[in-house]
């Protein structure tokens, strides 16, 4: 039987890996996960080689693509294994197969593609004609097979293989679990990949699927019962928790009666009644994520293509307060036309909203996004700049007054939550003191991961190690174009060094 090694560079459970692993193990194949902290590449490759994989798989979003192709090339040399990548970046930029580190690109859902690939490898058969795969041949040409016509039946899949991650104490000892009841989102926000996926899979009616409520409940029961640690919190990581209110009401009734563990989920804007919010609270909804994205309704409905009114936002959050549900909100920085003063004026909106936490993020123009094609985005997009692994450190677009906006983003929640501090914080944003803003951001972000993600102290320390200490210790930074993990001066220095190196290369 085939031996499959899944590799990743982000400390979070990948639902795709767990689903594919369950399908492959059911068929008798061997699957193991390898997490690369990027502190010692030789050691990581040695660990892969000891496993003796036939296939090495990567699930990549755009920020992880440079890491994946680099590791893929080294892993191929050390093991002779076939490398394959999937997920959104493989769909939006399948030309990644041209890199020596990648042999196969999966241009759709991976369960059945991987099952056929493993079977072919196990029997020594040709796998170049498997639907849903682009395959590089021995002569370097690429067989571009069409996408699979049928999407997976989520009710027919085995329960996800959460045990895949239990080799790592971070996951094995976790008191919270990430779960997913469906795939897809009905909205077409310009900054999101969901419209790309919906179109790629034949439209929203085809792509957007939910497990039946009963099937979803049985999987949750199994995950909770088989987890090594007592589960005290659940995350529903579906892009939207529900699509149809009928599904939500049936699911919540079952959840209330059979699970009743506090949970977090992504709230779905649209037709919803106050009684539905009450049902959420009664079932155990402790926190809901309200994706506001902007405190400016015109911007939200315009360039962001998110047709949600301020009135609707305030209505549903009023109901949440009434029934004791805490909620987080979101705010984009780094969109064209945004100024420092614009964000200062939007503080009034967020103070009125008063979320438990305000998640601020920098926009990154990933391949295929509708917003990436915007002419103003193109105008401010720098050349040859890699995407950030996180969305917190640096602004991607070269907007006017960008350094001050970077500072403001890191203290925006504090300005919202503590109005008395806002004048001082806003004044400080004028100065080049990145360490101060990084410390302030990490302080309230730690509050977020304790309050919302319910991490333990041990998990928090792992986060600090992975996202703060490791970048200081390794030579190759995961945050491209930044010479250190935090700080505007380091970004500037890295960009100058990059320009100098490119100039020297041209001379040679």
Sorted by where each begins, the domain ranges of the chain are 3-143, 162-456
CB atoms near residue 232 (< 10 Å): 12
Cβ neighbours for 373, distance < 8 A, ≥ 6 positions apart: none
Looking at CATH, the fold of the domain delimited by 3-143 is given as Rossmann fold (3.40.50)
Burial letters 303-342, b for 16+ CB under 10 A, else e? bbbbebeeeebeebbebbeeeebbbbbbbbbbbbebebee
CB atoms near residue 90 (< 10 Å): 27
Is the domain covering 162-456 a CATH 3.80.30.20 domain? yes
For 329, the enclosing helix (H) or strand (E) is strand 326-333
SS3 313: helix
Cα–Cα distance measured from residue 362 to residue 415, given in angstroms and rounded to the nearest whole number = 17
CB atoms near residue 46 (< 10 Å): 11
Cα–Cα distance measured from residue 151 to residue 117, given in angstroms and rounded to the nearest whole number = 17
| Structure token digits, residue 463 | 């986060």
Q: 464: which DSSP letter? A: H
Strand partners, 168: none
Strand partners, 327: 288
Phi, psi at residue 129, to the nearest 5°? -115, 20
Specify burial of residue 53 (Cβ count, 10 A radius: 0-12, 13-18, 19+). Answer: buried
Cα–Cα distances in Å, from 503 out to 5, 374, 477, 499? 39, 30, 21, 6
Cα–Cα distance measured from residue 3 to residue 54, given in angstroms and rounded to the nearest whole number = 5
**DSSP letters along 346-361, please?**
HHHHHHHH--SEEEEE
Length, in residues, of the chain: 508
pTM confidence score: 0.89
| Structure token digits, residue 38 | 């990027």
| Structure token digits, residue 363 | 């926009």
> Which pLDDT score is estimated for 487?
42
**Are β-strands 176-179 and 182-183 bridged in parallel, bridged antiparallel, or unpaired?**
unpaired
| Structure token digits, residue 145 | 């097979």
CB atoms near residue 386 (< 10 Å): 15
> Which pLDDT score is estimated for 477?
43
CA 307 centroid distance within chain: 23
Specify burial of residue 18 (Cβ count, 10 A radius: 0-12, 13-18, 19+). Answer: buried
CB atoms near residue 87 (< 10 Å): 21
| CA triple 368-70-138, angle to 5 deg | 85
Q: pLDDT tens track of the chain, all 508 residues?
A: 999 999 999 889 999 999 999 999 999 999 999 999 887 889 999 999 999 999 999 999 999 999 999 999 999 999 999 999 999 999 999 999 999 999 999 999 999 999 999 999 999 999 999 999 999 998 889 999 999 989 999 999 999 999 999 999 999 999 999 999 999 999 999 999 999 999 999 998 899 999 999 999 999 999 999 999 999 999 999 999 999 999 999 999 999 999 999 999 999 998 899 999 999 999 999 999 999 999 999 999 999 999 999 999 999 999 999 999 999 999 999 998 899 999 999 999 999 999 999 999 999 999 999 999 999 899 999 887 888 777 677 889 989 889 999 999 999 999 999 999 999 999 999 998 988 998 899 888 888 888 777 888 888 888 777 766 766 665 444 444 333 344 445 455 556 666 666 666 555 4
**DSSP letters along 61-125, please?**
-GGGHHHHHHHHHHHHHHH--EEEEESHHHHH-GGGGGSTT-SEEE-S-HHHHHHHHHHHHHTT-
Cα–Cα distances in Å, from 345 out to 69, 106, 359, 400, 447? 43, 45, 17, 18, 25
User: How many Cα atoms sit within 13 Å of 196 on the Cβ side?
Assistant: 21
Sign of CA dihedral 409, 414, 419, 424: negative
**Are β-strands 3-8 and 30-35 bridged in parallel, bridged antiparallel, or unpaired?**
parallel
| Structure token digits, residue 195 | 């419209």
């Amino acid at each position: 039987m085939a031996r499959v090694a899944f590799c990743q560079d982000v400390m979070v459970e990948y639902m795709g890996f767990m689903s594919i692993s369950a399908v492959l193990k059911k068929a008798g194949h061997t699957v193991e996960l390898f997490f690369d902290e990027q502190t010692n590449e030789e050691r990581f490759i040695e660990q892969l080689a000891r496993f003796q994989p036939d296939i090495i798989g990567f699930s990549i979003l755009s920020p992880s693509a440079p890491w994946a192709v680099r590791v893929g090339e080294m892993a191929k040399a050390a093991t002779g294994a076939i490398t394959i990548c999937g997920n959104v970046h493989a769909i939006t930029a399948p030309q990644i197969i041209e890199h020596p580190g990648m042999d196969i690109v999966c241009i759709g859902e991976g369960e059945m593609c991987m099952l056929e690939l493993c079977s072919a490898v196990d029997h020594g058969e040709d796998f170049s004609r498997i639907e849903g795969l682009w395959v590089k041949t021995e002569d370097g040409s690429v067989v571009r097979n069409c996408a699979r016509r049928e999407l997976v039946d989520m009710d027919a899949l085995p329960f996800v293989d959460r045990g895949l991650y239990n080799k790592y104490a971070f996951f094995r000892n976790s008191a919270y679990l990430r779960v997913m009841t469906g795939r897809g989102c009905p909205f077409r926000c310009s900054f999101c990949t969901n419209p790309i996926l919906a179109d790629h899979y034949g439209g929203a009616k085809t792509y957007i699927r939910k497990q039946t409520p009963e099937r979803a409940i049985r999987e949750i029961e199994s995950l909770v019962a088989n987890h090594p640690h007592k589960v005290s919190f659940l995350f529903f990581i579906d892009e939207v928790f529900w699509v149809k209110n009928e599904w939500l009401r049936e699911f919540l009734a079952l959840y209330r009666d059979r699970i009743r563990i506090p949970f977090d989920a992504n709230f779905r804007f649209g037709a919803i009644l106050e009684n539905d919010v009450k049902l959420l609270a009664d079932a155990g909804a402790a926190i809901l994520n309200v994706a506001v994205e902007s405190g400016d309704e015109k911007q939200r409905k315009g360039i962001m293509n998110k047709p949600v009114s301020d009135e609707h936002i305030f209505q549903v959050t009023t109901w949440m307060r009434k029934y004791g549900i805490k909620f987080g909100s979101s705010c984009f920085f780094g969109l064209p036309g945004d100024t420092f003063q614009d964000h200062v004026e939007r503080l009034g909106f967020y103070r009125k909203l008063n979320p438990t936490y305000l998640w601020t993020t920098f926009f990154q123009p990933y391949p295929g996004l509708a917003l990436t094609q915007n002419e103003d985005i193109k105008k401010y997009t720098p050349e040859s700049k890699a995407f950030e692994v996180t969305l917190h450190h640096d602004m991607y677009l070269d907007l006017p007054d960008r350094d001050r906006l970077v500072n403001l983003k890191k203290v925006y929640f504090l300005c919202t939550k503590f109005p008395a501090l806002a004048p001082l914080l806003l004044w400080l944003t004028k100065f080049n003191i990145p360490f101060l803003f990084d410390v302030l951001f990490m302080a309230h972000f730690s509050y977020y991961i304790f309050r919302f993600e319910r991490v333990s102290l041990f998990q928090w320390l792992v986060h600090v190690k992975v996202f703060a200490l490791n970048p200081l210790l390794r030579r190759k930074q995961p945050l491209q174009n930044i010479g250190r993990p935090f700080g505007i001066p380091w970004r500037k220095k890295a960009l100058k060094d990059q320009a100098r190196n490119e100039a020297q290369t041209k001379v040679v």
